[in-house]
Amino acid sequence: MKKVILFDLDGTLIDSTEAIVESFWVTFEAFGEQVPLASDIIMHIGHPLETMFAALGIKENAINAHVARYKEHYRDISREKTILLPNAAQAVKLANDHATLGVVTTKTGSYSRILLEHLGLMEYFDVLIGREDVIYPKPHPEPILKAIKNLDVKNKENCWMIGDTCMDIQAAQSAGIIGVAVTSGYATREQLKECTLEVYDDVLMALSAIVTKK
């Protein structure tokens, strides 16, 4: 039976750190607020924007306006300032030979699609679930459950999720599929080992391990 492999985006397939940090800086400046350190922004990447702004000190009644300003800037610069991680393109093409593929991300799905089209990879994915497609983002299982439902998956035992944070792994486990971690993103190997024993240096190494499993 053909495998199903789902991918996170930031830190797994792409590096859009520069675009994310710049968009936060521009947003804080637009509202006349003290700009946070890049390191303080980066430590929250992977969470929804609403959660990130709250963690950076924005009051609840101002978060929606900040998110809207962030998206306005991010949309303009994301293609220019996002790159594929090493071996990501090779990994996706390898995966496509062995599995049906999908993307499950907390990024805005419409922007994610534009990025993947720009980077030449969107054609390989049969489903893309973004933040606007679900009520509860990762680590809740809803995004993964929606992806596998859209793919009409019959057997979860052949489903895998590859991500760079424990949120990805926890979402996979709660959805009843296998979570595999990579250290190419925003969590350390030690942090990832707390949620899965399957930790690899990058997405190609993770894919090579998955496709050899029976």
Could you write out the DSSP letters of every residue in 104-173?
E-SS-HHHHHHHHHHTT-GGG-SEEE-GGG-SS-TTSSHHHHHHHHHTT-S-GGGEEEEESSHHHHHHHH
Q: What number of other Cβ atoms are within 10 A of residue 211's Cβ?
A: 15
First to last CA, the chain: 10
**Catalytic residue check, 8:** yes
Phi, psi of 159 (to 5 degrees): -110, 140
* Catalytic-labelled residue, pool 8, 15, 164, 168: 8
Closest CA to 151 of 177, 129, 175, 127: 127
Element (H, E) at 25: helix 17-30
Over its C-alpha atoms, the chain yields an Rg (Å, rounded) of 17
Catalytic amino acids? 8
